[in-house]
Chains A and B, each alone.
Chain A
Amino acid sequence: MMPAWWRTDPCAPFRIGPREFPGRIWTASGCFAYGLTGHEMTAPGYASPYEGLGAVVTKTITPEPRAGNPMPRLVETPAGALNSIGLENVGLREFVRDVMPRLEAAAVPFVASIAATCPEQFSDLARAVQTAGAKMRHWHGLELNLSCPNVAEGGHDFGKDPDTVAACVSAAGGGAGDRALLVKLTPNVGDIAALARAAAAAGAHAVSAVNTFVGLDVDLATGRPCLPRRFGGYSGAAILPLALAKVDEIVRKAQVPVVGVGGIGSADDALKYFALGAVAVQVGTAQMRDPFCAARIARQLQTG
């Protein structure tokens, strides 16, 4: 049973900035790769894991391919996980040449996540994706990842400062063009609403909140941190209340649409974000456990 206040069809088109998205339930970057493996999957009652999805946010790409961090890269915690993948990705060239055309051909709605170490690189990345996607029907927008906590030289510190956020948004086109420009925010700051305001002022059409929280776990057998880089990004069910608090802060203190991310594993979890005013949600860690998680949530929110 859906609550009485819920009257939205999560699988109906809605707008973010200049772009109409096919639905409000998305998968989060890094948790469903490039959105290309799902076609081989089956589940009783579902045509594919893409059923009802508004978008797949693809794994963050960087200008050059990255091999990622040493293993182990994942640590399970009682209600979540720490990851230190290190942005392993195919790089811009392969993404625009191979991944984007395949997503378009497979009619998978997608948002391209990009990360760079300076505004100039964001500009190059954004332009290359925009050029490749100009005629694509299923490419809906860009998500600037300013917030990956486990890449030593990049994103993390970067996205913590409103001026840099604004500079990156401007570099990525400032929201010009006919696709949505989203900024993915780090929760590891005191005033996340200030970042959201800076993004919106520079032209972003929405913010995705949040990326992972900085976390650490200790291996008692060795007495050392479980992850070789000590810290990881904390995600999964455990962060739901933390992420909801960040989203609430943005909704109340910044005039910008919010895509809620963090700890969603069920329709009820997603509803909590919508109750706070999020326009869409992304499913991350739970999608890793079940490739049909987002599709199941979309169906449940649609049919009750």
Chain B
Amino acid sequence: MGPTGIPSPCSLVGEVMANGPVSSGLIEMHLRVPGGSAGQPTFFPGQFAMLNRPGASAWTFGRPLSILAWEGGVVRFLYRAVGRGTRELAGLGAGSGLTFLGPLGNPFPAETGGLRPVLIAGGVGLPPIWSWLQLYGARAGGPALACFGARSVEDVPWTLVGDRWRVAVEEALAAGDGRASTGLVTELVTAELGDSALDGACCVMACGPWPMLRAVRDLAAARGWPCWLSLEEHMGCGYGVCKGCVVPLREPSADVGWRPATCCQEGPVFPVDALAWDVMQPEGSP
């Protein structure tokens, strides 16, 4: 346990228990890991782990995946197979070994200070937002509004995104399908809030692709709501030692007005005002 109450990162070897599709594009994996003292929090929503193959088949760098849940010695992940590493992950059967370094990074705030939480997740950005709703949703200031965006209705992991979620999909729905609305998740949020937004102060937490994060930033800024975003940067170590994952943070005292911060250690969750948006590339890097 670190000084801030955040569990210390642990280097472990886990065993895949289950690993299979939960929607057309998303895969859920259950990894059994040793240890975990009873009664202690294992992770905080927004934290992630670096996963790798053990021994000689290891990739040069681990792959960062957000922790969806961690209970009873089993860590759950939700991911999309997009490249070499995640495709190899997708091919792993039960019993396969994986190295696990985590939990890593700074989580979303656990308290909303009486503000109603507006939770926004896009695609594989679901895990940190989902776990926040699970762990803190009931005790926050006012009922959480949780919205999930996906490409299509087939891509929605309905086992995870149940009654408490509103869902938007980009591809048009079949006639009569009432499970989701058509459009972008940020449009859904705006529609859901409607006028109620005017009388209730909210705070926003989001994770998803860059265009979504920018839209979320604007949505929160327009209403003057505090907002936290979980960012994705390419990572080497995941624990702060290589400086391979920097994002620009505002730093008025620096000549250039910003400083590089490690996404893995100072993030991946950042308050939106801390980020130096003016020097960011479209994908977030300085």
Contact = CB atoms under 8 A, between A and B. Distances in A.
Contact of A290 (B2, B101, B259): B101
Interface residues of A, number: 36
Nearest to B256: A67
B285 A70 contact: yes
B243 interface: yes
A290 B245 CA distance: 17
A160 to B, nearest CB: 25
B94 interface: no
A248 interface: no
B246 A73 contact: yes
Contacts of A68: 243, 246, 260
B60 A285 contact: yes
B228 interface: no
Contacts of B256: 67
Nearest to B50: A289
A90 B286 CA distance: 18
Contacts of B35: 44
A236 B9 contact: no
A237 interface: yes
A236 B60 contact: yes
Given A40-B2, A290-B101, A291-B101, A83 B60 contact: no
Given A30-B242, A33-B240, A42 B9 contact: yes
B12 interface: yes
Interface in B236-260: 236-237, 239-246, 256, 259-260
Contacts of B99: 290
B234 interface: yes
B10 A79 contact: no
A31 B101 CA distance: 16
Interface string B208-225: 000000000000000000
A42 B11 contact: yes
Contact of B244 (A43, A59, A85): A85
A177 interface: no
Contacts of A41: 8-11, 239
Contact of A72 (B61, B234, B242): B234
Contacts of B52: 289-290
B143 interface: no
Contacts of A139: none
Given A236-B60, A291-B101, A83 B242 contact: yes
A287 B58 CA distance: 13
Interface string A40-74: 11111000000000000001000000011011111
Given A43-B11, A290-B11, A291-B101, A76 B241 contact: no
A44 B239 CA distance: 18
Given A71-B234, A76-B59, A290-B99, A42 B242 contact: no
Given A289-B237, A291-B101, A80 B246 contact: no
B234 A74 contact: yes
B243 A44 contact: no
A34 B156 CA distance: 43
B251 to A, nearest CB: 10
Interface in B1-42: 2, 8-12, 34-35
A201 to B, nearest CB: 34
A111 B59 CA distance: 29
B10 A81 contact: no
A88 B243 contact: yes
A289 B60 contact: yes
Nearest to B242: A288
Q: Which of B11, B35, B239: most chain A CB closer than 10 A?
A: B11
Contact of A74 (B8, B11, B61, B101): B61
A67 B242 contact: no
Contacts of A32: 241
Interface in A1-44: 30-33, 37, 40-44
A33 B10 CA distance: 18
A71 B9 contact: no
Nearest to A37: B240
Which 8 residue pairs of A and B lie closest in terms of their CB atoms, listed nearest first?
A71-B285, A288-B237, A33-B241, A43-B11, A74-B244, A88-B243, A74-B236, A81-B60
Given A73-B245, A74-B235, A290-B99, 10 more contacts: A31-B237, A40-B8, A67-B256, A67-B260, A70-B286, A71-B286, A72-B234, A74-B234, A81-B60, A288-B241
22 contacts: A41-B9, A41-B11, A42-B8, A42-B11, A43-B10, A68-B246, A70-B286, A71-B245, A71-B246, A72-B234, A73-B246, A74-B61, A74-B244, A83-B236, A85-B242, A236-B60, A237-B60, A285-B60, A288-B236, A288-B237, A289-B61, A290-B101
